[in-house]
Chains A and B, each alone.
Chain A
Amino acid sequence: MSANGQRLPRLEAAGLDGWLVRLFERIDEDNLAWISALARECEEAFGAALIDLVPSYTTLLVVFDPMQLTPAAARRYLSQRLGQLQSDKAALAGKVHELPTWYDPSVGPDLERVAKHAGLSVEQVIDCHASATYRVFALGFAPGFAFMGLLDERLEVPRLDTPRQRVPVNSVAITGRQTAAYPTATPGGWNILGRTAAKLFDREREGFSLLNVGDCVRFVPVGRDTFVSKGGDTTPVDET
């Protein structure tokens, strides 16, 4: 493992209260097994001095309380744990979620443009998006927003030139080799294909987020009636 000629894993200073542990250079499903193992080690090593952990594709940001630990001491904890790290294969056996999704131009205004860009029919785009199982690589951007991959190369499209002011809640969207479902209405530049009826972020739920890093996700195409019966909102994108 190496990046910029330096060996990985590498500890990078991230302000007074954080170390960014860079474990990998490239995005890969297997990264999760190591990042999740390190997260668990940190919980044990730092105890009450641990403030937050932010796992992402290739890194883990470890945030600690600088009143309890000096950055040098935190670095020593991390080096020790990295030296004896075992990958956590169980992290790759995350939960499998099936998200009922209504693919329709009224709630998926970019379906046709994506089809045109890919040289496929709208039906083929839906088949292609719904036939894969995606892995959750990271949560971020907004509460419960799961970055999932890897999307079929045929559906690779860039972000919109001008992001939408408001992407409706539960929109299912793609960009590059990634896909996601919006847990809250936010501005966004991804290409919207449809809408899921699943409740993605629920503060009454244990763990809050439906999807967590390491989970697997399948989008299951449903018709309008099923979508509505599962609580889906059919308000067209233009009118939300």
Chain B
Amino acid sequence: MTETNHVGFRVERAGPLALLQDAGRFGVRRLGVTQGGPADLHGWAWANRLAGNPWAAAALEVTFGGLTLAAECDVTIAVAGADLGATLDNKPLPLWQRVNVGEGQILRFGSPVNGLRAYLAVAGGFYAEPVLGSVSCVSREGLGGFDGHGSKLAEGDRLTVSEKAGQPVAYTQLPEKERIDYREPATLALLPGAQVSDFTGASLYAAFNQAWRVDDRADRMGVRLTGPPLACRVTSMISEGIGLGAVQVPPDGQPIALLNDRQTIGGYPRLGALTPLSAARLAQCLPGQAVHLRATSTESALMAYRRFRHTFF
């Protein structure tokens, strides 16, 4: 496969947070290196698919908006995930579909209309030198991103696109019914974990029957949920490995769902873990939004995940 890289976009305005994300950094968690990768797996995967890219291609995760890019050449893009009021030359940019962008055109992300994180994929994928096997940008660890050191995008940066042979394009747009309205109340599927029986009965009832509110203390490490506090008979444990979506409950009783940039080990008791698709759904919730937790079985979670992934082979 021939591969040439060239500048695809120039950053006119960086916005609060735009991070390069491939599928994540794997095999190095034993060194204390976090997983990284797209907070909303669903939106990221569709942006890549619509741009004709394979599963693990690097796309740009734009949080809140505020990013302005100028195309430095003709490119094909797809934006999926949140509606951040994106425009192309001041005209609304259609989401969840392939769009051709000409050299000199201006792609601008505004502010959240529906959801929190938009994914910009470009045909061929964005290119950066992988660090520990991945280009996923984790600023806290100084790993990945366009410069390899986890730096945030800055005005004047140039974003490289790799020109790989694309996948056959099965979809040019995602049918309306497959798209997610992130403003709807979210029901998050949770696989109960080993410490679930350490919570009091009343707390377990409350966990799955009351509405939780997404707190503004939310980032790529974790999302805090607020509501009547949950009581656990165990307050802290010896630190152990924690997986994506783990819902830990510190002594204040307010759960924290752990996302892609979580620390690799931790010592709070856990209710269980959100399924990968529910963790992705939570990553699109704005502070103040209500969510419900619903216990699910491994079988149905596995079926849902495999159905989702098979779309992207």
Q: Does B114 contact A (CB under 8 A)?
A: no
Number of A-B contacts (CB under 8 A): 138
Given contacts A13-B193, A15-B243, A184-B142, contact A53 B265 (CB under 8 A): no
CB distance from B199 to the nearest CB of A (A): 14
Q: Are A186 and B140 in contact (CB under 8 A)?
A: yes
Q: Are A71 and B264 in contact (CB under 8 A)?
A: no
Question: Of B239, B245, B298, which contacts A147 at CB under 8 A?
Answer: B239
Q: Does B26 contact A (CB under 8 A)?
A: yes
Q: Does B225 contact A (CB under 8 A)?
A: no
CB distance from B234 to the nearest CB of A (A): 10
B residues less than 8 Å from A184 (CB atoms): 141-142
Q: Are A15 and B246 in contact (CB under 8 A)?
A: yes
Q: Are A20 and B194 in contact (CB under 8 A)?
A: yes
Contact with A along B195-222 (1 / 0, CB 8 A): 0000000000000000000000000000
Q: Does B102 contact A (CB under 8 A)?
A: no
Which of A78-86, A111-119, A133-141, A231-239 binds B?
A133-141
B interface secondary structure, majority: mixed
Which of B30-38, B40-48, B161-169 binds A?
B30-38
How long is the Cα–Cα vector from A147 to B264 in the complex, in angstroms? Answer: 13
Q: Are B29 and A56 in contact (CB under 8 A)?
A: no
Residue of A at shortest CB range from B301?
Answer: A16
Q: Does B176 contact A (CB under 8 A)?
A: no
Q: Does A142 contact B (CB under 8 A)?
A: yes
Q: Are A56 and B31 in contact (CB under 8 A)?
A: no
Residue of A at shortest CB range from B245?
Answer: A15
Q: Are A56 and B240 in contact (CB under 8 A)?
A: yes
Q: Does B39 contact A (CB under 8 A)?
A: no
How long is the Cα–Cα vector from A155 to B29 in the complex, in angstroms? Answer: 30
Q: Does A55 contact B (CB under 8 A)?
A: yes
B residues less than 8 Å from A53 (CB atoms): 29-30
How long is the Cα–Cα vector from A58 to B265 in the complex, in angstroms? Answer: 12
Q: Are B263 and A141 in contact (CB under 8 A)?
A: yes
CB distance from B294 to the nearest CB of A (A): 15
Question: Of B31, B140, B240, which contacts A61 at CB under 8 A?
Answer: B240
Given contacts A13-B298, A52-B27, A186-B140, contact A141 B241 (CB under 8 A): no
Q: Does B53 contact A (CB under 8 A)?
A: no
In the complex, how many residues of chain A place their beta carbon closer than 8 angstroms to a beta carbon of chain B? 46
How long is the Cα–Cα vector from A13 to B196 in the complex, in angstroms? Answer: 11
Q: Does B191 contact A (CB under 8 A)?
A: yes
Q: Does A103 contact B (CB under 8 A)?
A: no
How long is the Cα–Cα vector from A57 to B240 in the complex, in angstroms? Answer: 7
Residue of B at shortest CB range from A209?
Answer: B31
CB distance from B182 to the nearest CB of A (A): 22
Q: Does B180 contact A (CB under 8 A)?
A: no
Q: Does B273 contact A (CB under 8 A)?
A: yes
Q: Are B309 and A12 in contact (CB under 8 A)?
A: no
Q: Are A58 and B240 in contact (CB under 8 A)?
A: yes
How long is the Cα–Cα vector from A58 to B237 in the complex, in angstroms? Answer: 11
Q: Does B275 contact A (CB under 8 A)?
A: yes
In the complex, how many residues of chain B place their beta carbon closer than 8 angstroms to a beta carbon of chain A? 42
Q: Are A70 and B243 in contact (CB under 8 A)?
A: no
Q: Are B246 and A14 in contact (CB under 8 A)?
A: yes
A119-161 at interface with B (beta carbon < 8 Å): 138-145, 147
How long is the Cα–Cα vector from A141 to B33 in the complex, in angstroms? Answer: 8
Q: Are B141 and A54 in contact (CB under 8 A)?
A: no
B residues less than 8 Å from A203 (CB atoms): 131-132, 143
Residue of A at shortest CB range from B28?
Answer: A208
Q: Does B306 contact A (CB under 8 A)?
A: yes
B residues less than 8 Å from A143 (CB atoms): 31-33, 141, 143
Question: Of B239, B245, B274, which contacts A56 at CB under 8 A?
Answer: B239
B241-264 at interface with A (beta carbon < 8 Å): 241-246, 263-264
Residue of A at shortest CB range from B276?
Answer: A16
B residues less than 8 Å from A12 (CB atoms): 193-194
How long is the Cα–Cα vector from A209 to B243 in the complex, in angstroms? Answer: 22
Contact with A along B7-36 (1 / 0, CB 8 A): 000000000000000000011111111010
Residue of A at shortest CB range from B35?
Answer: A52
Residue of A at shortest CB range from B195?
Answer: A12
Given contacts A57-B240, A58-B240, A138-B265, contact A51 B27 (CB under 8 A): yes
Q: Which 3 A-B pairs have the closest CB atoms?
A: A61-B241, A54-B241, A15-B273
Residues of A whose CB lies within 8 Å of any CB of B are 10, 12-18, 20, 22, 27, 39, 51-61, 63, 66-67, 70-72, 138-145, 147, 184, 186, 201, 203, 208-209, 212-213
25 chain-A/chain-B pairs, Cβ below 8 angstroms:
A10-B194, A12-B193, A14-B242, A15-B245, A15-B272, A15-B276, A16-B273, A16-B301, A16-B305, A27-B238, A52-B26, A52-B27, A53-B30, A54-B29, A57-B239, A59-B238, A59-B240, A61-B243, A139-B31, A141-B265, A143-B143, A147-B239, A203-B143, A208-B31, A208-B132
Given contacts A14-B241, A52-B29, A201-B31, 8 further A-B contacts (CB under 8 A): A16-B305, A55-B241, A63-B29, A66-B305, A139-B30, A140-B241, A143-B31, A212-B31
